[in-house]
């Protein structure tokens, strides 16, 4: 019998990540979300919450570098980008990306965000997850609690018409959380990327065009 580790290594997205130089298969969740919702349009200041091991930061850097050239016009444009990744786990460095080992639930994190960006963000991303216990009900509630913390950061730091991607777990309180997020954005969608594992109960909320 093939054990879970061997099965994971043979899995399509794992192989693709290794081949294309991404640190984890999760990179393809973000590619999928971008293809569907175009979240990186004119995005130059980006915060990635729960960034370890850094695969989403790799994708973010790719799109922000492209945006410097793609959106060099008379509309909203910057001649530089700023990317910050935050995680309680250590994340290996990525050139031109500011990575912080910190807990986003601590009040001092807002000071760090202000100090680095010195302005409103175009995009907030979160693939952050609690450490699962195996009890789906408990894990769902703990993940939703984390989501509320991330939502608070997003509300405080996203610019007008900025975008949000946040991972939740499906369960009893998901609809309540969805209703909390809905008035904040002109468009709100729930989406499970193709590269998410079939057995996973993760689901992403995509908030587009933050209201004032």
**The domain that contains 166 carries what CATH number?**
3.40.50.150
Buried b (16+ CB within 10 A) or exposed e, 127-146: bbbbeeeeeeeebbbbbbeb
The pLDDT tens digits for 103-162 are: 999 999 999 999 999 999 999 999 999 999 989 889 999 999 999 999 999 999 999 999
In a domain, 175, yes or no: yes
Where does residue 165 rank: exposed (0-12), middle (13-18), buried (19+ CB within 10 A)?
buried
Q: Does residue 27 carry a pLDDT above 80?
A: yes
In a domain, 53, yes or no: yes
What SS3 state is found at 212?
coil
In a domain, 141, yes or no: yes
In a domain, 8, yes or no: no
Lowest mean pLDDT among 15-19, 92-96, 116-120: 15-19
The stretch 59-69 carries a mean pLDDT of 97
Q: Does residue 35 carry a pLDDT above 80?
A: yes
Dihedral-angle region of residue 52 (phi above 0 means left; psi in -120 to 50 means alpha; beta otherwise): beta
- Domain range for 191 is 31-210
In a domain, 37, yes or no: yes
In a domain, 19, yes or no: no
Active site residues: 167
In a domain, 167, yes or no: yes
Q: How far is CA 134 from CA 25, 35, 124, 139, 164, in A?
A: 22, 32, 28, 7, 28
Give the separation between CA 86 and CA 98, rounded to whole angstroms. 9
In a domain, 131, yes or no: yes
* Domains contained in the chain, number: 1
Percentage of the chain surpassing pLDDT 70?
94
* pTM, 2 dp: 0.92
Where does the pLDDT of residue 63 fall: very low under 50, low under 70, confident under 90, or very high at 90 and above? very high
Q: In terms of DSSP bridges, do strands 202-210 and 185-191 run parallel, antiparallel, or are they unpaired? A: antiparallel
């Amino acid at each position: 019998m093939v054990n879970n580790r061997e099965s994971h290594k043979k899995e399509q997205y794992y192989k693709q990540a290794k081949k294309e130089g991404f640190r984890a298969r999760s990179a393809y969740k973000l590619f999928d979300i971008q293809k569907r919702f175009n979240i990186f349009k004119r995005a130059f200041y980006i915060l990635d919450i729960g960034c370890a091991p850094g695969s989403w930061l790799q994708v973010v850097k790719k799109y922000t570098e492209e945006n410097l050239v793609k959106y060099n016009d008379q509309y909203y444009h910057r001649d530089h980008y700023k990317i910050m990744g935050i995680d309680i786990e250590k994340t290996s460095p990525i050139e031109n990306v500011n990575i912080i080992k910190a807990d986003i639930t601590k009040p001092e994190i807002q000071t760090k965000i202000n100090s680095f960006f010195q302005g409103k963000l175009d995009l907030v991303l979160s693939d952050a997850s609690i450490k699962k216990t195996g009890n789906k009900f408990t894990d769902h509630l703990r993940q939703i609690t984390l989501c509320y913390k991330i939502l608070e950061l997003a509300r405080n730091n996203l610019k007008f018409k900025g975008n949000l991607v946040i991972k939740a777990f499906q369960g009893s309180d998901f609809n309540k959380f969805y209703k909390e997020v809905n008035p904040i954005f002109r468009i709100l969608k729930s989406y499970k990327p193709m590269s998410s594992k079939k057995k996973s109960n993760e689901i992403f909320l995509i908030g587009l065009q933050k209201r004032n």
